[in-house]
Amino acid sequence: MLVRVKSAANAPNAYQTRQRAVAAMATGIDGVPIHVAYTAEEHHTRAHAHTLLAPVWEQYAALPVRAAAQALDLPPDQIPQLAQVTGRLQVLTGFRYASVAGTVGGAEFFGALARRVFPSTQFIRWSGNSEYTPEPDVLHEIGGHANVLAHPQLASLHVLAGQASVAAPALLTQIAAVFWYSVEFGVVHSSAGWKAYGAGLLSSPGELGWFTQHAEIRPLDIADMLDTPYDISSFQPVLFGADSLDHVVDIVGGYFTSLIHHAPITSSY
């Protein structure tokens, strides 16, 4: 299994040391996560991020995701253990969390999703970096993805993406792009404007309050997604908006399903 442990260029030395120590505890996709003894400062970082996120979640998170987060009911003032997250998700959507050291290769990541396993890091961003980090830290993995995975339709999209990667491994780059613009950074329209359902937006206090004023929101279209490059190191200038989560399932789920059956669909319908 290819795993990359990489700190941001401006990461403090103490953080990099701690990140490597926590990463070394990872047991892999098929293992049982080890309990991490988080420090008071790390729990404070989680609590501070929640304080920043709460008001923008109320304003910009899609209502179905907010309901799913309520059902998941993770503690806002401490970092939950992956075993705790698994225990709650298993009841809601059948997903479990596995601990990995860092960014997992695409084939391994999506292959795990096909089995309802979510590979997650256990380290947390440093205290002065609460707004956004390109690293897949535990705030993103839990504050973003766990809440999304608690919603049955969105959990199913993860599984379909994984199954598509197994059925059509040569199209992994395309699958990753569609996953990025939907599961990670998707938005849906509501009577109160655009709302986020993507885990990348939902775990970033800075970007969640930024996208409605600054991002170009295009109609949900697979071909356009595949033609639009993205940069994981910055806020996303282009997003794709759907009419509803049902619309997302129709378009994105339909694309993944078409790959599973070897007949790719590359336009909206």
Q: Which of 7, 99, 120, 203 is catalytic?
A: 203
Q: Which of 99, 135, 145, 158 is catalytic?
A: 145
95 domain residue, yes or no? yes
Annotation says 141 is catalytic: no
Q: b or e along 195-228 (b: 16 or more beta carbons within 10 Å of the residue's beta carbon)?
A: bbbbbbbbbbbebbbbbbeebeeeebbbebbbeb
Evaluate if residue 269 carries a pLDDT over 50. Answer: no
Evaluate if residue 265 carries a pLDDT over 60. Answer: no
Evaluate if residue 75 carries a pLDDT over 90. Answer: yes
3 domain residue, yes or no? no
Residue ranges with strand state E in 111-251: 117-120, 187-190, 193-196, 216-219, 238-242
2 domain residue, yes or no? no
Annotation says 145 is catalytic: yes
CA angle at 78 for the pair 197 and 143, rounded to the nearest 5°? 10
135 domain residue, yes or no? yes
90 domain residue, yes or no? yes
Evaluate if residue 176 carries a pLDDT over 50. Answer: yes
| Per-residue pLDDT at 11 | 73
| Per-residue pLDDT at 2 | 42
pLDDT band at 79 (very low <50, low <70, confident <90, very high): very high
Q: Which of 50, 140, 151, 158 is catalytic?
A: 140
- Please state whether beta strands 187-190 and 238-242 pair in parallel, antiparallel, or not at all (unpaired): parallel
Q: For 1-40, what is each residue's pLDDT tens digit?
A: 444 455 555 678 888 899 999 999 999 999 999 999 999 9
Domain range enclosing 110: 10-260
| Per-residue pLDDT at 7 | 52
The CA-based dihedral angle spanning residues 34, 41, 72, 106, taken in that order and rounded to the nearest 10 degrees: -60
Structurally, how many domains does the chain consist of? 1
Evaluate if residue 191 carries a pLDDT over 60. Answer: yes
* Total length of the chain: 269
168 domain residue, yes or no? yes
What is the distance between the alpha carbons of residues 111 and 228, in angstroms, rounded to a whole number? 24
* Over residues 132-154, mean pLDDT: 88
Cβ atoms within 10 Å of 48's Cβ, excluding its own: 14
Annotation says 203 is catalytic: yes
Evaluate if residue 129 carries a pLDDT over 80. Answer: no
For the chain, give the mean pLDDT. Answer: 91
Q: Which of 135, 141, 184, 207 is catalytic?
A: 184
265 domain residue, yes or no? no
Evaluate if residue 86 carries a pLDDT over 50. Answer: yes
118 domain residue, yes or no? yes
What's the CATH number where 38 sits? 1.10.800.10
